[in-house]
Amino acid sequence: MDCLSCGEPNREGARFCAECAAPLFDTVACPSCGATNPSAAKHCDSCGHALAGATPVAAPHPPEHLAEKIRAGRTALEGERKQVTVLFADVIGSMELAEQSDPEEWRRIMDRYFSILCAGVHRFEGTVDKFTGDGIMAIFGAPIAHEDHARRACYASLHLQRELGAYAAELRRELGLGFSVRMGLNSGEVVVGAIGDEGQMEYTALGHTVGLAQRMEQLAEPGKAYLTQHTASLVEGYLALSDLGEFQLKGSSAPLGVHELTGVGAARGRLDVQRGRGFSRFVGRDEELAMLETAADKSLEGGWPGGSLSMSRHHRRRPLS
């Protein structure tokens, strides 16, 4: 099977491209719960509903410029450690919303919802790792490496909040649906690559970092994005955060600091971030300062080309702070 994104030939039974990690098959949306399933499936693997007659949903592919960067980072497909930020997003009460809606209408709602999510992730060069029925898991920092992966994930979250907020308002106005999405983020080390047996390989990220990101999503209130202290420490100053305190999360041995993402911060560079934290005093440089004083004395004794320098030693020796 040839990949529709990069054209790479893949073995029979493969679900994701071994070259660029793009999905290789179309899916169908369950008319009952909206979960995505392989087009060949007869019943939904989330609720068991029959999929006969379900409308196919095209597998999303990254833009060509992004696919090219994914291909350049193909070594990640073999499995390697990476520092990444993981983002989870899902619809709150999707089962209840699906029950209130006509199946075909619900499919259209979810189709556009997933399109918004994928476009928002790709906008900041993240990778959609998998669909979770009514949401997605996305990775920033793999297979495309970015030192600012945490900031990219947060910027993507803010962008998605705006886009999904507008979409939710449209659904509320036209259909009377209370459509709300929550998001969770966490940063840390994972192992990324293709996993599974020969019959079914899948590109994904594994590790405790992924589980904590999902816990953040489950903890988040409707319409909000929560992030762990691990992500907060990487984006401090660049993003506006609200400290929610520590929470004891399932799967975590110690309480974990949680923050709400509220907007863009004032910092535009590392100097701005350091200024916000406070600069260190210039101390412990007596030898270096003595060398500067000696050089200044020799310069004054010899004079300066084109004129003289009238600077008192008192002014030259102002203490540094």
pLDDT on residue 292: 87
Predicted TM-score (pTM) of the model is 0.66
pLDDT digits (tens, 9 = 90+) for 125-158: 999 999 988 999 999 998 888 999 999 999 999 9
The rounded percent of the chain whose pLDDT value lies above 70 is 65
Q: In percent, how much of the chain has pLDDT > 90?
A: 47
Dihedral over Cα of 20, 25, 26, 30: its sign:
negative
83: phi then psi, degrees, rounded to nearest 5: -90, 115
What's the CA angle centered on 304, arms 302 and 308, to 5 degrees? 100
- pLDDT per residue as tens digits for the range 215-263: 999 999 999 999 999 999 999 999 999 999 999 998 888 999 999 999 9
**Residue type present at position 71:** R
Residue 314 banded pLDDT, cuts 50, 70, 90:
very low
**Domain residue extents for the chain:** 76-277, 286-316
Residue 39 reports pLDDT greater than 80: no
Q: Determine the Cα–Cα distance for residues 274 and 269; give it in Å rounded to an integer.
A: 9
Distance in angstroms (rounded) separating the CA atoms of residues 212 and 165? 25
Task: Please give the CATH topology (third level) of the domain spanning 76-277.
Answer: Alpha-Beta Plaits (3.30.70)
- As a whole number, mean pLDDT of residues 189-213 equals 79
CB-based contact 153:126 (threshold 8 Å)? yes
- Greatest mean pLDDT range, 51-55, 163-167, 273-277: 163-167
Determine the Cα–Cα distance for residues 304 and 7; give it in Å rounded to an integer.
Answer: 70
The residues that bridge with 87 in the sheet, in sequence order, are 138, 185
Check: CB of residue 176 under 8 Å from CB of residue 182. no
Q: How far is CA 227 from CA 21, 85, 148, 233, 307, in A?
A: 26, 10, 15, 10, 61
Q: Closest by alpha carbon to 318, among 289, 294, 281, 275?
A: 289
Burial class (CB in 10 A: 0-12, 13-18, 19+), 318: exposed
